Amino acid sequence: MTYRKWIRRFGTKHREIVETLKGCDAEEIVDYFRYENMRERHSDFCPLYAEGTKCHDLEDLNCYLCGCPHFRYCDEGIDQVEDKTRYSLCAIDAREGKIFETETAIHQDCSACPLPHLKGFILKHFDEEWQRIMASCEVC
């Protein structure tokens, strides 16, 4: 699945849940997206829920953002780094970020970065419309 397709698919699922929370304030909406609650009430929201695993080893994992507003991608490639195409990167070069490389491609590996799953970070970037939060991610 391409980055663009994932963003659109996730945004639709996210919007459907947020629409059921009309009348709630930002903090109540973000609290609703706690991993334990989401796993119980929306088991199809994330494929990891069915396995009972988390994407990050955080006690208070929050699934509101899932993706990060600092993630940048272009399905056609952002640029060339030597003989490889870079498809994604971290706009703030987070110290927890890593790189995943193949023979021909470079992708950002955010698996060790907790930022988009922390309540304070989410509230700082909060918008009921997830697609607006993620609007700057696609750079092509």
Domain total in the chain: 1
Digit-coded pLDDT (tens) for 6-17: 999 999 999 999
Asked if residue 65 is part of any domain, the answer here is yes
Asked if residue 138 is part of any domain, the answer here is no
Digit-coded pLDDT (tens) for 15-68: 999 999 999 999 999 999 999 999 999 999 999 998 988 998 888 999 999 999
- The backbone torsions φ and ψ at residue 77, rounded to the nearest 5 degrees and listed phi first, read 110, 135
Distance between CA atoms of 43 and 66, rounded to whole angstroms?
15
Whether residue 95 contacts residue 79, with contact meaning beta carbons closer than 8 Å, is answered with no
When pLDDT is cut at 50, 70 and 90, the band that residue 84 belongs to is very high
Asked if residue 139 is part of any domain, the answer here is no
Distance between CA atoms of 112 and 109, rounded to whole angstroms?
8
Identify the helix (H) or strand (E) that includes residue 76: none
Asked if residue 118 is part of any domain, the answer here is yes
Q: What is the DSSP string of 17-46?
A: HHHTTTT--HHHHHHHTBHHHHHHH-TTS-
In the chain, alpha helices (H): 3-19, 26-32, 35-41, 47-51, 119-125, 130-133
**pTM across the whole model:** 0.90
What residues make up the domain containing 9? 3-133
